[in-house]
Amino acid sequence: MSEPSTNPQSQSHVVKRHGVTTRVWHWVNALCLLVLLMSGLQIFNAHPSLYWGSGSDFDNPIMSIGAQLDDAGDPMGYLAIAGWQVPTTGVLGYSGPEGQKQARAFPAWATLPDSQWLSLGRQWHFTAAWVFGVLLVGYLFYSIVSRRRRRLIGVHRGELGQFGHAVVEHAKLKFERRPGYNIIQKLTYLLVLGVLLPLMILTGLTMAPAIDAAWPWLTYVFGGRQSARTIHFISAFSLVGFFVIHLVLVLVSGLVNNMRAMTTGGYRVDADAPSPATERDHD
């Protein structure tokens, strides 16, 4: 999420923003998260309801996706949240090509594999989860010990006061190109790296029978296995929301410049932006 210049007269220059470690981590984890999402939806399709607590109250789910007959006797997909139900035929609950629709929570194009295949979906999910988990722990450790990485994502004194101004500038689609991240980017990445991703990993571990047997306290922390499953689902779709916003900002703030930063590491900044000597943020 970076920014094109708002001053056409400025003479920009390219600085090194991201090193090989960050770029490789970014793209490998993007692939892992895509596999995790699609295989996770396949697993969810096996029992498309969420509950709170230790057990499943089948009559009172917090959220469910399914299919039923409408008043005319035709199949209809629906999404139900806390007793409130909306028809979702063609998207959720009942979807597929015309004449070949079938009852399934998430459509075939959104799951991995695209057929109803729980065991293979679990294999894809667990394989990607181990790769992702190891890389995340390693990268969090690297971010702590690397002074240059800390400068990139760390919030410094006085920056919080810039939050309101940054929000207004983003709302106007005015983006400053600078070597480091602005306060919105820093807080967002800290939320994702420090809260959402660890939460998703821990709740995922809680649902594993072996981990539940070895570390029962982890299940207790999340209020039960079904609560952990619900938190896992919410965390996953919070990440989806982040990725959507991230991609939109990449597009509107300069696709070429942003892609260059995550492929070759070079990033074009405004002439009046701080130099790497004073705002050293590449790693």
The secondary structure of the chain, three-state, reads CCCCCCCCCCCCEEEECCCHHHHHHHHHHHHHHHHHHHHHHHHHHHCCEECCCCCCCCCCCCEEEEEEECCCCCEEEEEEECCEEEECCCCCEEECCCCCCEEECCCHHHCCCCCCCHHHHHHHHHHHHHHHHHHHHHHHHHHHHCHHHHHHHCCCCCHHHHHHHHHHHHHCCCCCCCCCCCHHHHHHHHHHHHHHHHHHHHHHHHCCHHHHHHCHHHHHHCCCHHHHHHHHHHHHHHHHHHHHHHHHHHHHCCHHHHHHHCCCCEEEECCCCCCCCCCCCCC
How far is the C-alpha of 144 from the C-alpha of 95, rounded, in Å?
46
Residue 134 above 70 pLDDT? yes
Who's near 145: CB < 8 A, 6+ residues apart?
A: none
- Neighbouring C-beta atoms of residue 194, cutoff 10 Å: 13
**pLDDT attached to residue 274:** 58
How far is the C-alpha of 199 from the C-alpha of 263, rounded, in Å?
29
Which class for 168: exposed (0-12), middle (13-18), buried (19 or more C-beta within 10 A)?
A: exposed
How, if at all, do strands 84-87 and 75-81 pair?
Answer: antiparallel
pTM: 0.83
pLDDT bracket for residue 7 (50, 70, 90): very low
Residue 232 above 70 pLDDT? yes
**What are the backbone angles phi and psi of residue 150, rounded to the nearest 5°?**
-60, -35
How far is the C-alpha of 170 from the C-alpha of 217, rounded, in Å?
43
**pLDDT attached to residue 2:** 42
pLDDT bracket for residue 277 (50, 70, 90): very low
Domain with CATH 1.20.950.20 in the chain: 13-48+106-269
pLDDT bracket for residue 59 (50, 70, 90): confident
Q: What is the mean pLDDT of residues 36-42?
A: 97
Quick one: how far is CA 200 from the chain centroid?
Answer: 10
Q: What is the mean pLDDT of residues 161-174?
A: 87
**Superfamily classification of domain 13-48+106-269:** Transmembrane di-heme cytochromes, Chain C (1.20.950.20)
Least confident of 118-122, 139-143, 231-235, 260-264: 139-143
* pLDDT tens digits for range 70-118: 888 999 999 999 889 999 999 999 999 888 899 999 999 999 999 989 9
Structure tokens at 145: 């010990």
How far is the C-alpha of 31 from the C-alpha of 12, rounded, in Å?
32
Average pLDDT value for the chain: 86
pLDDT bracket for residue 276 (50, 70, 90): very low
pLDDT bracket for residue 221 (50, 70, 90): very high
**pLDDT attached to residue 186:** 86
* pLDDT tens digits for range 176-197: 887 778 888 888 888 998 899 9
